[in-house]
Structure 1
């Protein structure tokens, strides 16, 4: 994995800095051909959280320079962290590209509410633990619900429902993922609604979205859901119609 700190490649002496960078937030993106979907949303997310957590304005140019510097390939999984270690730091990492799952996912509902749910913060121990637990039980993802069963989000995903004409998102505290935001501005109308697991079989398709893309959900706990291939294709097509934004400056060739 490549790492860049404040726009320069990380050296051996930066390991301790990266380890101690615990208070902060981040965004995750898939880069293809040195392009990314929803680049403005990623920058807006980082800027908003930087203002909220640190009371400072994000250096967007430094973020973009860090992404360009960390890329040693045209396709990659990139994360950009904004953390405080002595001062505000921008840390970018690049790893091999990830692909969205191709089979309907099986979810296990878990009572959990992320702290400061609207921020993609670095305090992800509980999410990681619960995600590992449900996978050990044979499921693909954890689905967070309140004590009275209201759905909020997955451990690393958003859950959406498609009724054949519009997308319904849970009306609950959650992170608005970048893929979710892209679908919200697509040609498919969206709305928020209180959702419980018992409501899900009534939809033509239930799906997960994150930086990897969009994938159907086939089961939650012991509840089997419809997977209408045409409905799933409509949602996936709306996401895939989103244009890719170039990371390079105008007139600048990729290295």
Structure 2
């Protein structure tokens, strides 16, 4: 399929999509399966909170659903969908649809990069720095970059959250970050959980390190070429929990 775009329920051409998509604003990314989305209320909550912070106004949920439905049309049941709220005189809701993405089954290779996002709790529409960091990481043979502070504390990936297991506890970095929708769904897993400062060296001591984003959950196999521990049972626990979350209907 070719990428589609809709603004407040109206299909538009690619020029209009890029003209608005590059503006000041925020967005959320989701995987649509059989016209359902996991954590749809969390996506609305994200968009609502960011809209109030950036624009000082609430979010029209009907406009969001209208644009998603318009961009899916009558024929698409599975797709990667992004919903942007961007300013062009006033806030506009823009949705795009592209081919669906699935989390790769192979472990990811990651590398640390010193960079911290401004307003990290907001998923920002104009993400040049993160896009550049991710692109450079891939050019160097890695799958993802881990964003760290100057003294080495890990916050998140360029387009992912990072987590790990230690002695049966699910560990998240204690650092400013975007709490991704998949991360928030994994926080509902019925295991002990904690936040603590994590540096790259600490990853070597964890039983399993993983990444999460709208694609799903991915194991981390190495950091800067150093192999990490792998535990298939822990990855299966994460994936079974995530896969077992029912999607919310869009229609």
Q: TM-score, normalised by structure 1?
A: 0.93
1:129 & 1:190 partners in 2: Cα distance?
32
Cα-to-partner distance string for 1:75-111 (whole Å, 9 max, x where unaligned): 0000000001011100000011011111000001000
Cα-to-partner distance string for 1:129-182 (whole Å, 9 max, x where unaligned): 111111111111011111110000000000000125221110001100000000
Cα-to-partner distance string for 1:178-231 (whole Å, 9 max, x where unaligned): 000001122233221100111112211100000000010011113210011111
Residue of structure 2 equivalent to 1:4: 6
1:131 aligns with 2:130: no
1:175 aligns with 2:203: no
1:189 & 1:157 partners in 2: Cα distance?
22
Q: In terms of mean alpha carbon deviation, does 230-239 or 71-80 score higher? A: 230-239
Which one of the candidate residues 192, 203, 211 is aligned to 2:195? 192
Residue of structure 1 equivalent to 2:57: 56
Contact 1:187 1:238 in 2 (8 A): no
- RMSD over equivalenced CA pairs, Å: 1.4
Contact 1:104 1:217 in 2 (8 A): yes
Q: CA deviation at 1:11?
A: 4.5
Which one of the candidate residues 101, 104, 127 is aligned to 2:104? 101
Are the structure 2 counterparts of residues 41 and 111 from structure 1 closer, same or farther at C-alpha, using a change threshold of 3 Å? same
Which one of the candidate residues 238, 242, 249 is aligned to 2:241? 238
Q: TM-score, normalised by structure 2?
A: 0.94
Unaligned runs of 5+ in 2: none
